[in-house]
Amino acid sequence: MPAERPPGGLEGVVVGESAITDVRGGEGMLYYRGYSVPHLAGSVGWEGVVHLLRSGELPTPGETRALREALSARRRSLGDLAPMVRAIPPGATPMEALRSGFSLLGHGWDGFPPTDEMFELLLAFPPVFLPNLWRHRHRQSVLTEPEGLGQAAAYLWRLTGQAPDPRKLAALEAYLVLVADHGMNASTFVARSVLSTWSDPASAMSAAVGSLKGPLHGGAPSLVADFLDRVGTPDRAEEEVEATLGRGERLMGFGHRVYRGEDPRARRLRELARTVASSERMELAEAVERAGLRALARRNPKRPWGLNVEFYAALVLEAAGIPRPLFPPTFALARTAGWVAHLKEQAQHNRLVRPDVRYVGPGPRPLPTPA
Ligand code: ACO
């Protein structure tokens, strides 16, 4: 009897143990170190979540302040990154640039396990590199934020040169918290595998960004925004959804490998979007949501369909003033929290990741005799 075929996407395969994030797909719940993630968003800032994911406990106010100050100092220590920004080819997308940026940052990093200094630099890097790259490409001068800001505020400041609107900042901060980690997703698995070879954490982050770039993982929110633009008005939602599915394309922001039904982060993001998006944009998004869920259910009634995190993320990011090409690397900026926590955990219990594959090619055979 032939052996059962292993799942191509490793779904259901347990590849290790982790005490960081508990993804309960069946129940539609998500916890960081035991705390409900939708509840954390809005009550704890991104730095608090970095601390929680890394250490296992929520920070005291003093610990939050210390981490904010440490990251603020690291951002300053990075300088304007001008040689690095200029080295990125003009045609590279910001996500490709970030992948290369992490790689350039880690030149000369060696030794295992990684140091806390390396981890802090990796966390501090995206909110400096991305605005500097963006402004360089738009022939604008590089900006430095006032001291003591958190990552979300620093990122907006460095992009715009203005103190961010508190409502928009709060929505962005909550978004960063919601997507800070998500168990053994593709990019986290990649990052842990790279570090398991005793490689450096910048190589691991660079590989993780490469993985997150794909639209099946993290590259969808800008595509969601493009799709909403294409639909234009709520009355056209049905028609565009049908046309998209009719061409065999996927609806971005719908479906999830782990959640059956709605992603708990999507629910929270919908609430957040209501606080910052314009009523026209919200009505359009809700019309597309309804039309998409109806159409997917008609095609595959057995699967409980729901939105994933990326659908309303598009509205929150656009309302927060993040330029659309920066949506995917803003996701990466948030996810550095989870990657760093996972790399730390990997380093603590390291074993080289080296799975097996069942060989199904031809058996041993002789080389053809030369003619
Ligand atoms: N639109 C249309 N069809 C879909 C969608 C979708 N959004 N999602 C799944 N399907 C279909 C597939 O085409 C497939 O159909 P088939 O069996 O006829 O070939 C079937 O449903 C099963 O698809 P899988 O890829 O096996 O489902 P999986 O659970 O592995 O996929 C995924 C999850 C990749 C997120 C998928 O739902 C998808 O492609 N969604 C759109 C892209 C997207 O939103 N990406 C962001 C993901 S969230 C994140 O990573 C943070």
Give the model's pLDDT for residue 218. 82
Find out whether the beta carbon of 329 lies less than 6 Å from any atom of ligand 1: no
> Residue with structure tokens 């199904």?
360
**If you average pLDDT over every residue of the chain, what do you get?**
95
Give the model's pLDDT for residue 220. 80
**What is the token pair recorded at 59?**
């920070």
Element (H, E) at 36: strand 35-36
> Residue with structure tokens 């982060």?
265
To test the ligand 1 pocket, which listed residue (222, 227, 242, 256) has its Cβ within 8 A of the most ligand atoms?
256
CB proximity list for 191: less than 8 A, separation 6 or greater: 204, 205, 207, 208, 339, 342, 343
**What is the token pair recorded at 149?**
């800001």
- 175 close to 272: Cβ distance less than 8 angstroms: yes
CA distance 150 to 263: 27
Measured from the Cα of 179, ligand 1's closest atom is 51
Check 256, 289, 318, 345 and give the catalytic one: 256
Residue 208 Cα to ligand 1 middle (Å): 20
**What is the token pair recorded at 105?**
């940052």
Q: How confident is the model at residue 2 (pLDDT cuts 50, 70, 90)?
A: low
Cβ atoms < 10 Å from Cβ of 202: 23
Nearest CA to ligand 1 atom 31: 257
CA distance 121 to 104: 12
The answer, as to whether pTM is greater than 0.85, is yes
Check 47, 240, 262, 310 and give the catalytic one: 310
Residue 255 Cα to ligand 1 middle (Å): 5
Q: Which residues pair with 254 in a beta bridge?
A: 307
Find out whether the beta carbon of 309 lies less than 6 Å from any atom of ligand 1: yes
CA distance 41 to 174: 5
**What is the token pair recorded at 359?**
């060989």
Nearest CA to ligand 1 atom 29: 257
| pLDDT, mean of residues 286-309 | 96
Measured from the Cα of 257, ligand 1's closest atom is 29
Q: Among 290, 265, 281, which Cα is nearest to 320's?
A: 281
- 134 close to 94: Cβ distance less than 8 angstroms: yes
217 is catalytic: no
Q: Which residues pair with 23 in a beta bridge?
A: 30
- Render pLDDT for 87-129 as a digit per residue (tens, 0 to 9): 999 999 999 999 999 999 999 999 899 999 999 999 999 999 9
* CA-based radius of gyration for the chain: 22
**What is the token pair recorded at 348?**
């603590």
Query: Is residue 151 exposed (0-12), middle (13-18) or buried (19+ Cβ within 10 Å)?
Result: buried
**What is the token pair recorded at 3?**
């052996």
To test the ligand 1 pocket, which listed residue (242, 250, 299, 312) has its Cβ within 8 A of the most ligand atoms?
250
What is the SS3 assignment for 110?
A: coil
- Render pLDDT for 205-241 as a digit per residue (tens, 0 to 9): 999 999 999 988 887 889 999 999 999 999 999 999 9
| pLDDT, mean of residues 174-190 | 97
Q: Which residues pair with 35 in a beta bridge?
A: 32
Residue 250 Cα to ligand 1 middle (Å): 7
> Residue with structure tokens 């501090």?
124
What is the SS3 assignment for 280?
A: helix
CA distance 53 to 119: 13
Give the model's pLDDT for residue 216. 87
According to DSSP, residue 45 is labeled -
Nearest CA to ligand 1 atom 15: 300
Cβ atoms < 10 Å from Cβ of 161: 14
Give the model's pLDDT for residue 337. 98
Nearest CA to ligand 1 atom 36: 255
310 is catalytic: yes
Element (H, E) at 323: none
Give the model's pLDDT for residue 1. 57
Beta strands at 35-36 and 21-24: parallel, antiparallel or unpaired: unpaired
pLDDT for residue 266 is more than 70: yes
- Render pLDDT for 21-74 as a digit per residue (tens, 0 to 9): 999 999 999 999 999 999 999 999 999 999 999 999 999 999 999 999 999 999
What is the SS3 assignment for 152?
A: helix
pLDDT for residue 361 is more than 80: yes
Q: How confident is the model at residue 334 (pLDDT cuts 50, 70, 90)?
A: very high
pLDDT over 70 percentage in the chain: 99
113 prior amide bond cis, ω within 30: yes
Q: Among 172, 168, 213, 182, which Cα is nearest to 337's?
A: 182
Element (H, E) at 156: helix 151-160
What is the SS3 assignment for 309?
A: coil
Find out whether the beta carbon of 255 lies less than 6 Å from any atom of ligand 1: yes
pLDDT for residue 286 is more than 70: yes
Find out whether the beta carbon of 181 lies less than 6 Å from any atom of ligand 1: no
CB proximity list for 164: less than 8 A, separation 6 or greater: 152, 153, 156, 157, 172, 320, 321
